[in-house]
Structure 1
Amino acid sequence: MTEPLTILVGPTAVGKTAISIPVAQALQAEILNVDSRQLYRHMQIGTAKPALAEQAQVRHHLLDLLAPDQTINAAAFVRAAEQALEDVRNRGKHPLIVAGSGLYLQALLYGLMPAPAAHAPLREVLRVYADRHGTPALHCWLQRLDAEAAADYHAHDRVRIVRALEVIFLTGVPFSTHRHCHRQQGPRYPYVAVGLTRCRPELYARIAARTEAMLAEGWLAEVKDLLSRGYDRSSHPMNSLGYRELLAYLEGQCSWPETVQAIVKATRQLAKRQLTWFRKLPHITWLNLSGLEEPVAVAQILEQVQRTALEPGFMTSHRGHLSSEDVAPQDRV
């Protein structure tokens, strides 16, 4: 049997990067970053990409693969991830997957969802509608037809909103129903997954503090540099969290305090969507980092990885919590 993959998931700002370094070192692993925005070059600060010093401690994969004007879909990402997995294992190392993108992680673990191929005429209709009324209007359309699917996507995520609507119109079945059916299938790889979370007030405080730190580090200058390279709103990642708000600031659409608040609010919303997506994936054991010192958290993760991987039939039966201190319903993001 193939050695189980070790996976860390969690919302933005929860502390995945800081935890992943000592976990990878203990496992003699290399890290595969499953994050849709960290694939892009020249976007270091705004995507919270692991710092060069962190990358020097543990080898990282699936970073800086694309220019900001290039596009990628789940199928292409899976091919890149599979190549990275093969590379890591061929060198006798263990892969540690650190995931912030639920869609890409699901595609890697469970394969691509069977669905109709792209339909150019329908996509053109949806594109024109979005151009005239705005991508949020397209998101509202999806919300009326499939509220569950809409909850997983940001109102400006045109690519995924269009795909969800396309599948709904072509099949007459909600996009979320297709996903539920697909998730009933077994995984392509055995895996042990630990989900990292924090109590809501603490996570929100970390989001606000990290936003301020990223701006102080030069996030606005990073956006200006991207513009100087010719990347504008026509480049998909330039419409992602933080970049779109900073572009609006540079265009004079809002003040600096309004911009900062908008980024913080959008980051909170992202964290909610990430947790919603990850909680739907099976076989994830959750660890609340609130009140835990990093060495204790790392030790608990390593213990869980070792114990779970040895459990007979763990891929079909295991789902639980690392401790009784898991997030209470009222504290969930």
Structure 2
Amino acid sequence: MKYFLKTKTNREFELLFKVRKVKDPGEQLKEELRKELREFLYLSKFEIYIENPETKPILERLREVVFKAEDKSFLLIGNEGSGKSFAIKQLLRERDFLYLDLRYFRKKVLIYQGKEREFVNYFSTQPLVVFDNLESISKKTTSFKLLNSIKELREELSKPNIFISSAELDTPEESFFDSDWEKLYWSSPSQPFALELIKSLLTRFYSSLRLTESAIVLLSFLLGNNLKVLINRLLKLFLFLESFEYTSSIIDSKELKELFDELFPLKEKKELISYEDNSQLKAICRKKNFSIEEIRSSSRKKRIVFERDQIIYIMKEKLNFSVLDISRILLKSKSGVFYSFKKILRKREDETFRDYFDYLTKI
């Protein structure tokens, strides 16, 4: 018997039948919300804030609420990619608040099955809550009913809320907000604003690239007014001009248009991001001699994991992809991508590793 207790077989037996401690739902919720807030507040070096004159009055009104202790609540509506969530992020950096991405609300609701009252009460204790992506929740679901309970309780306690939606709500859902709510409309970026943003990014990060004024103006029209698409394509364009040593000392509008058409296939022009056949991933793997199949595989070999870490870092830090987009491109979980990125950030605190890794990720 003593011999059996020391054997590998018994150790495996104990491991197999070990009772795992179940995480308290309340602590699990707090942990997920803290992580969600960290991701929301994280800024890559390319995320620079330029004030849009057309949306300044809206920001001023929101600033009055969040910094002057008003109990007013808002519904902020604007097109996808118009920069409304990013502006809220900038506005609230010095304010204590809770961020809830409603695209993942159902997952949190499932954790609290049978404890819905406790779930609702937790949100009532927060001084300010930002509810993002309201359009992602259907009115007929349990999630919507719980969300309504949270909203009503916070209203009873006179606590401010900011709801953000990328779509105008239809008539039945409009009753979700009573007459005391302010509805604010966020303007999509205009062409002059896009032009200013392009010039700022070019000056700050790619000053060695020289584009004629007509080429920059052309870019502002080609890239459109969806900020997510604009920045993603702009950084890809600048990066490839540097990486592949574009020979012209000054790039004019004709050369730029030819290069733009080459870099962005027709399919990708029609989509926000091409996930299945992503041209950025293809180009990086080709440049670094990585296998796309291995990068997307579930392999845990050290070499492949390290190559995957490099890809994730490049796409997040240099191409400004979101963690969600990277997870869809690489066929990985959102938490796995976030873990990889944070792991590299920790390792880069060591100067020797940072120099080595920066050399490897120079593309």
Same fold (TM over 0.5): no
- Structure of higher RCO (CA pairs closer than 8 Å, 6+ residues apart): 1
Using the size of structure 1 for normalisation, the TM-score is: 0.28
Bigger radius of gyration among the two:
2
Using the size of structure 2 for normalisation, the TM-score is: 0.26
